[in-house]
Each structure stands twice: as structure tokens, then as C-alpha cells.
Chains A and B, each alone.
Chain A
């Protein structure tokens, strides 16, 4: 088993809210007066009594009792929505802020990239910035010198290396800044969402570099990102933080699935009774949208084998109108899987219903949502009901020993067989 290089134990961080600057001299003096002179209890901050203080919105637990371990050469992903404490956690591990409770222990040199271009100064040239930023991030002179050409080549700004970076385009600036960071060689690298910058090509380059660092060089990476794809590709393990509390930890793909399922609220039936307030407009008002899975057992999960029926009803508010509809299925990433049109039909005032059937063994596992559009006169869209249904399809593989994420947008089981030819085998091997 690999050696544990970082151990986070019951880490908690409490932040004081509000304007800390003003009035804190008075508060501090008052506290000092109460505690040191009058020998009373601290009127503002008692660690045992923080629950009451938190109730008064004075304090915020950015992290609460977070514990995990990272082994050497592993990449750990940290996921969670905004404000869940991811950055606070990274800052504590990077020694930038102190925890309120708990400890972090570690082995080896640690470098953190919490922003692109730490230590950069606009007035200095690219060359000078490579050095000063490198030093700031903890490299030594020898290291930078030996990698200087590589850094410049990686950033692709050879021509501008002696120009002050204030004259760079923002893209060049970011590329140079990341190039320095990418050539750090600490034992443990901490990366916070830096991939959110630069064009797609450059992002790919950075991800590739990080992958190389963790997989072939045996370095440890802690990585925060909102891109599940990046975490999935790069990390073996993941931790999911929710409002400072660790919700899940374990294999990256498992944690990501749970996280995605959680943020994607399951919504398979919606009914409205009142046509005045139902979603819609002057033409149509929706009455019901429903997803009906055809499961053998009601306890079974909705998996890739389950056939699905989508039903919807709406009030048509105009007389004698030619209507049709489109049913759009999107993955949670926003990718459109399909867009099925319904044939035109002449409708009168009243309820119109629609139904679409998706066979089993067609969609891949993942989270999806459905939007329905209503179209009049073959071309004019009159209402678009976005994300009216959302659901999740679980994976199912009965006799396979492989557990990686199944690739592909869809997963139909079209007929596909291998047929060994007995005679051919005999002929070949008996000669």
C-alpha cells in the first residue's frame, strides 16, 4: 500500500462574519478588559458557545470536522457547490490560513496554485516574472534555470519574453503564468480551479500535464474543480463538501455520481390544476408532465434497461390551430441527446395530450432532463417548457468485470456478434 502523505483530521474553520475592520478595536479592548482585568469570560468568542453565536449569524463554519487521507501518487478531487468550503480547505492545507480546530499532517514539499499568476508583477518582463513567480511558488534558482526554456516553450510566447507583461494579451499572460506553475515539481501539488482560464486547447494541455505529473512522476495532487469531467479523468479519489461538511469520500466516479444526482433534483411528475397559473402563455398552459418508467418491480432502480414513457397534457387556449411538439432530451452537461418532433395535428380549444416512448437499452447511464416545445403552423414556436422533467439512469452490467464509465452518448444494444469459424481455426492450427 502506498504511503499516506497527507492526513487531514477533523479540520474545522470558523469565520467571523460582517465588517471585521470597523469596531474591532473597541471589541478587542472590551474583550481584553473583560478577560484580563475583570477576569470574566470572553464576551465575544467562546468555542463551546459558538452554536449560539452561529445562530446569531455572527459566525460561519466554513469547514466542520473534515477528515481524509491522501496517498502518495494519488490525485484527490474536491467537489462541491460554491461556498462549500473547498477553497478554505485548500488554503488550510497550503498553510495560508490557520484552522480553528483539527490538524493537517503531511510529508514532503507542498506547492499550491490557488490563482494563476501568483507573484506576477505587471511592470516586469516575462523573463523576470518567471523567476519571481517561480521563487514565490517555492522553486529554487537551479530549478527555474533548468526549466526556463521548457516554460517559455510551453507558454508559446518566446517572442515576447523580454516585454513587460502589462503589454501582454490576457491569454498570453495566463499561458505564461500557468506555464510557470505547471513546471513546479513539489511532492504535493494543490490546484484550485486554474483550468477555468485559457482556451480549450490550452486547458487540454494543462490537464495533460497534470495527468503526467500524477501518473508517471508519482506526485500527489489535490485538485478542486467544477468540471466533473476533469475530476473524473484526473483523480482516483474524491471528496464532496457540502456547506463545510464532508458528504462523501471515496472513488472519484462514485462521489461524482452522487454529487451530480444530488444537485440534479429528480423530477419525474408535475401536475397543475389551475390553467391560470400553470406554466405556459396565451396559447397553451401545461396541465401535466410525467415520466413513467416501466419497471418489473417498483423498488428496482431506473437503469439502462428500463423503457420510459413520457406523457404530457396541456390546455390549448386557441380554436382551430395546427399544433405540433418537440421533445428534447439533454444530458446534465447540456448536451442534446435527441430532439423528436411530433406530427402536426389540428386542435380545438381543450386538452391536448402527448406521449413519447423511449425503449429500454437505448440511453447510457447518467442524468438527463427533458424539455418540451409546442409549435404552431409547422414553424412558429409558441412555448418552450425547459427542463420540465429530470431523471437519472443507473448503470447495469450483469456479467462484466469492468467498472469504468461506459463511453458514448447512447448505449443501444444493436445486434452485434462475433462468430468463430470452427473450420478456419482447425485449418490454421492443424497445418
Chain B
């Protein structure tokens, strides 16, 4: 029995877990599952609602109204020369994308324990489907944002001079998505092992928003405490997003490199941990 050579077999299950246990081709073979999961999440969110998919736009718009009233009229935060509507909307949609991606994927094991314990497929499919859903929602919101910018430029005399930075905004979105996914994967493993952390993630995301230039621009942060905001690797990406689309933001190359480095480390680290722990976690969740 033991004389059979390893090469003869198509697959092999043993106690060893590897950091890179499946390839891209395996995920590719499950692409239809991925698409139908994204479709499902979309359908489920808006089934039996009157406004249906319009909620994708209503949610950030309602938040926008609140922010403009509270931070613009009551607190009167200094946000530079950008119209408040555009400023807050850019922050809201980008931040929602990040927090949904992070929060959504961090529950991968908890939410899917029932299905993970009954059937095998690359576990990676689930977080990817979550982030794809949020990305699609974000794209719809982004279109509205661009429409709003056009409206302000054409009818409200908002003067913005676009330059080469305009080409950078897709990168800021992608990088933020990847950081969200990376952190989500990392925390999905942690929350599966230690339930307490699940509660922490929600609070952490909310607190993180205050050290990210979402409701204020980096430029108005006092020099003395600016380093706190700048430690946050999301800061340069938010600034980059605003710089490219609204023409205002503080971006330096070294800051961007810091963000990219953070993204690479978190993302690949998370994939390795997710892979390594994913098989073992089924015993625990």
C-alpha cells in the first residue's frame, strides 16, 4: 500500500496545512459560484423593498444630508474651498466602501460556518464575493458622485482644474478595497477563533473613521496632531481620491509608498493566514 507513488494521485489530504493550498485555477473553476453569490447578495438586499436598488443611492444621500447639517451647519468644520456636498459625499462613499469591505469580510467564517462545514469549495470565494458586492455598490455611488461634480462645475460655478492626478483616483479606490479585504481576511480568522474580537471590529472601524480624513481634510488638522492621522495608511488614499476628483488634498509620494507597502504586507499576510488557518477553523466555528 505504501509503495504507491505520490504522483499517481490527483489530490491528497493530510494534517499538513500549507500557506498556499489552492491555485488561481481552482478559484477560476468556481467563478460561476462567485458571480451567483454576488447576484444573490444584490437581490436579497433589495427584495421586497419598494425602492429596490435605489437604496444604494439613498443610503449615502441620507448620510450626506446629516453630515452637511451637523458638520457643515452646526459644527462648522473647515473643509477648504470644496462645496460641502461634494466634500462630504466623497468621504461618505469611499469610507462606506472601506468599512463595508472590512466589516463584511471579517465575518466570513462566522456567517458561513453552516455552509463551510457541509461542502468544500475554496473558502476565498466568500470574502471575494462580499467585496465584489460592495465594489459594485460603490461603483454605482461613484457614478452619482461624478454626476454631482459635473452639476457643481456646470451650474454652481465650482472651479476645479484637473491635472494628471485625475488618473490616480482608480488606484486610490483599488488600494482601499484591497486594504479592506486584507484586514477583513485577517480579522475573519481572528473573530472565528476569538469571538470577542468580532465585537471589537465594529467599534474599531467607527473609531478609525475619526483618524481618517473623512469628515475633515488633512490640511485643517493642526500640525501638532497631524502625525496621528498620517500614521493611518488610509489617509493618503483618501487625500489622493479628493485631490484627483475635487482638486484639493495633501499627497506626497513617500506617504503613498507607505500606504502601498502597508497594503501589500497586509494583503499577502492575510491571504497566507487565511489559507493556513481556513481548514483548521472549521473545527472551531
Contact = CB atoms under 8 A, between A and B. Distances in A.
Interface of A: 7, 9, 15-16, 20-21, 24-25, 28, 67, 69, 91-108, 110, 112, 114-115, 118-119, 121, 123-124, 128, 131-132, 135-138, 140-141
Interface residues of B, number: 39
B279 interface: yes
B41 to A, nearest CB: 10
Given A21-B195, A123-B44, A136-B33, 13 more contacts: A21-B284, A25-B194, A28-B193, A92-B13, A94-B119, A95-B13, A96-B117, A98-B14, A99-B14, A105-B12, A115-B118, A121-B44, A140-B29
A21 B280 CA distance: 14
B36 interface: yes
A98 to B, nearest CB: 5
A328 B282 CA distance: 49
5 contacts: A105-B8, A123-B47, A124-B43, A124-B44, A140-B32
B119 A96 contact: yes
B280 A98 contact: yes
Q: In the complex, which of the residues A7, A91, A102, A105 has the most CB atoms of chain B within 10 Å of its own CB atom?
A: A105
Nearest to B117: A96
A102 B118 CA distance: 21
Contact of A135 (B12, B15, B36, B194): B36
A132 B282 CA distance: 22
A124 B119 CA distance: 20
Contacts of A103: 12-14
Contact of B284 (A20, A119, A140): A20
Contacts of A102: 14-15
* Residue of A20, A28, A95, A102 with most chain B CB atoms under a 10 A cut-off: A95
Contacts of A112: 119-120
What 10 A-B pairs come out closest when comparing CB atoms? A135-B33, A105-B9, A95-B120, A104-B13, A103-B14, A25-B194, A98-B279, A107-B10, A132-B36, A114-B118
B193 A25 contact: yes
Interface of A is mostly: mixed
A91 B116 CA distance: 11
B155 interface: no
Contacts of B15: 98-102
B144 to A, nearest CB: 27
Interface of B: 1-2, 4, 6, 8-15, 17, 29-30, 32-33, 36-37, 40, 43-44, 47, 115-121, 193-196, 279-280, 282-284
Nearest to B280: A98
A106 B9 contact: yes
Given A25-B194, A103-B14, A137 B119 contact: yes
A132 B33 contact: yes
Contacts of A115: 118
Nearest to A164: B47
A368 to B, nearest CB: 39
Contacts of A119: 115, 119
B118 A96 contact: yes
Contacts of B116: 96
Contacts of B30: 135, 138
B2 to A, nearest CB: 8
A24 B119 contact: no
* Candidate in B30, B32, B120 with the most chain A CB atoms within 10 angstroms: B120
A122 to B, nearest CB: 10
Nearest to B190: A25
A103 B43 CA distance: 42
Given A97-B283, A132-B40, A140-B29, A106 B11 contact: yes
Given A114-B119, A135-B33, A136-B119, A99 B13 contact: yes
Contacts of A99: 13-15
A106 B282 CA distance: 22
A25 B44 CA distance: 35
Nearest to A99: B15
A361 B280 CA distance: 57
Nearest to A108: B10
Contacts of A97: 279, 282-283
B47 A7 contact: no
